[in-house]
Every structure is written in C-alpha cells, then in structure tokens.
Amino acid sequence: MADDLKKGLEGVLVAESDLSSIDGDAGRLIYRGYAIEDLARGASYEEVLYLLWNGHLPSEDELASFTEALTEERTVSDDVLATMERLADADEQPMAALRTAVSMFSATEPETDADPENLDATLRKGRRITAKIPTALAAFERYRLDEEPVDPDPDLGLAANFLYMLTGEQPDDIAAETFDQALILHADHGLNASTFTSMVIGSTMADIYSAVTGGISALSGPLHGGANQDVMEVLIEIDESDLDHREWVEQATDEGRRIPGFGHRVYNVKDPRAKILEERSKELAENGDDKWYNYTTTIEQYLSEEKGLVEKGIAPNVDFYSGSVYYQLGIPIDMYTPIFAMSRAGGWIAHVLEYQDDNRLIRPRARYTGPEDQEFVPIAER
C-alpha cells in the first residue's frame, strides 16, 4: 500500500483540520462546524475571518476590536504603490501584480524578526496581509485606468471598501452585501492546490508572506483559479453571437465544446456556494440587467435536463455563478482570480497556523523510474 502511486495525491490523507469540511455527495460545506449557507447569509467576511483564525464566532466587542485592527492595517507603502503603477504601465497580469505586492508587504513588517514558532506574531502578520491585499489590488486597477488610487475608507467593511477603492464610489447595499457574501464563500475549501501549497511552505517554518505568495502562485494556474473568468468570457461570447442563448449552448455542446463552470474535483452535485451566488445573481438582475442571469440559468437547465450532466456528477460549481455576479458588480474580468485570492488568503493563513501548531515538514517521495548503473564518461571522451 505504501508504494501505491497516487497521482495528484488524490485521496491521500495528509493532515487533520478543524477548519472546513466538504461532503461532495450531499453538497455540503462547513467552516468550523457552521453551514456555509448560515455564514453567507448571516455573517460578515470579517466574522468569518475571525472564526477561521480564532476557532469561534466573535462577540460584538471582539468583532469591533478585530475590525478596527484590520482597518488600521489597510494602508500600503509608497513603494508598493509605485510598483503597482509600474506593473500596470507594463501591462502585467493582475495575479502577478498581486504576487509581487504581497511579497513586498514584508519590507514594512514591524515584526519581521519574530520567532517563526511564535504563532501569535504569525497571525498578526497574516492580519496585515489580509488588510493590505484589497488596497494594493484596487490601486493596480486604478493605475491601469490611468487614475489615482483611492484611499481606504475606515468607515467601510473590507468588502465595501474594496469596491469603493476600485470605483471611487461607495457601493449600494446590495452590491456590498453581494461582494461580502462572495468573499465568505471563497474563504476556505479544504486542501485545494493553493491551500496545500501554502501549507507545504509553512511546514518549512518560512514566514507567512512566503506562504501566501506561494498560494497566490498556485491559484494563478488555469486549472485552479481561472474558471470564473472562463465562464464570463463564454457568456460574453453568447451575448455577442447571432444565436439565442439556448441555441448557442445547444450548438456548442453538439460541437463538443466544454462549458466552463461545470464539474468539481470534490462535488458530485451542485456546489452549495453556486446555489447562494445564483440567488445573488437573481437579486442583482432584478435591480439591473437580467441577461447574464438568464444566460446562466438557461445553460444550467439545458446541461442538466437535456444533457444529464448532473446525473453524471457534473454539476455547476461556484465559478459558474461567481463570474456573472462579479460582472454585474462592474469588476473587470481579469480581476476575478485576484479577488479569489483576496478572499482565500484568510483560509491559507488559517491552515498555515493550524499546521504549524503541530508542525512536521511535508516531504513526500517519488518512485524512481530512470535508468540504473549508468557508466560515467569524462567530458573529453563524450
């Protein structure tokens, strides 16, 4: 059994965690025992961060102190802003810009010399990273538009503040609540590739800046973090075609095209996060343009009823609805994955802290399949 090869570590148990649990057959996701539906509909992103990092939901006083601490850490250095401007001018990809920004945050870290085993210091560093990511990301987008960054508003929560810094206008309640909910839904999801990457880095007792930077790098891959962007690009293609949206999806599937946003490595039924975002998409449609909601629901209905994908365990995942929700909020398409990272950073930090509390260097092995007993020939004789 020890020599069985498990490509991609599929099904291999490598850690125990109190943070999140997924039941792929029942379509159930919990954070520390709380159903994702309850948290998304009843809590704020800050409350969920507190839950992941501290093990329990905060009281009103605890939340006020926690939120104040996050708010105080939102400002980024002039050097980070200058770098975001240079990267925007160079037409850098947003995920690469975010990776660079997080790595630079450590230059102004006041506890840079803290003992790696001081998990309280690591948590405070993680709080600073989480607070600063929205500011750097919004500044990068503003520079791409040849506009000046917008300073953080201390009176706004993390989600509403990001939308404000992105557009320069305070979001309405529906937009702020929708985006806050989206951040909650993406905060953690077991040992996915980016979370595991962060844990591997954390297991070496590298600093949390390195772990989060590694998580961002893993999430940037198209097999992990880019599906919601792919979904929106398909919806735009539908919108620009001469076909009715149902005719488009029929033709596309007949031609063998794969529709992004369907299927998941863990879920065999509809992703519970997709159900929640579908509700938000509908609410946004009722207060604006309803075509994106109509496109997604038509595609889901056709692939479910006519193609039987759900019966085959290929159901809508969170990306299927998050793409159109972000688009309805006016967020640029290539910012979708960085926003995913902005949310998931809280989960990466929680997993690193949890693993380092009972740390063991992660060191798997590979089965050697190369040649044996090669005879070495000096370079002059080759």
pLDDT in tens, 256-283: 888 888 888 788 889 999 999 999 999 9
Q: What is the pLDDT of residue 2?
A: 63
380 in any annotated domain: no
Residue 34 backbone dihedrals phi, psi, to 5 degrees: -95, 130
Token look-up 């000096």 returns 378
Tokens representing residue 101 in the block: 């920004």
193 and 232 share one domain:
no
**What value does the mean pLDDT of the chain take?**
93
CATH number at residue 192: 1.10.580.10
Tokens representing residue 215 in the block: 């998580």
Residue 306 pLDDT greater than 80, yes or no: no
| pLDDT-derived band at 303, boundaries 50, 70, 90 | confident
pTM across the whole model: 0.94
Tokens representing residue 263 in the block: 């299927």
379 in any annotated domain: no
Give the chain's domain count: 2
Q: Which positions are annotated as active-site residues?
A: 264, 319
Tokens representing residue 305 in the block: 């009823």
| pLDDT-derived band at 308, boundaries 50, 70, 90 | confident
Q: Identify the sign of the CA torsion 230, 150, 129, 185.
A: negative
Residue 153 pLDDT greater than 90, yes or no: yes
Encode pLDDT of 7-24 as tens digits. 888 888 899 999 999 998
Residue 1 pLDDT greater than 60, yes or no: no
8 in any annotated domain: no
**In the chain, what is the greatest distance between 2 CA atoms, to the nearest angstrom?**
77
Residue 296, domain extent: 227-329
CATH number at residue 259: 1.10.230.10
b/e burial code for range 78-116 (CB count within 10 A of at least 16 → b): eebbebbbebbeeebebbebbbbbbbbbbeebeeeebee
- Out of 115-129, 206-220, 290-304, 329-343, which region has the weakest mean confidence (pLDDT)? 290-304
Cα separation, 67 vs 230, whole angstroms: 34
Token look-up 């506009």 returns 147
Token look-up 């380092």 returns 356
252 and 103 share one domain:
no
95 and 178 share one domain:
yes
145 and 209 share one domain:
yes
41 and 168 share one domain:
yes
- The candidate with the shortest Cα–Cα distance to 201, out of 340, 18, 366, 361, is 361
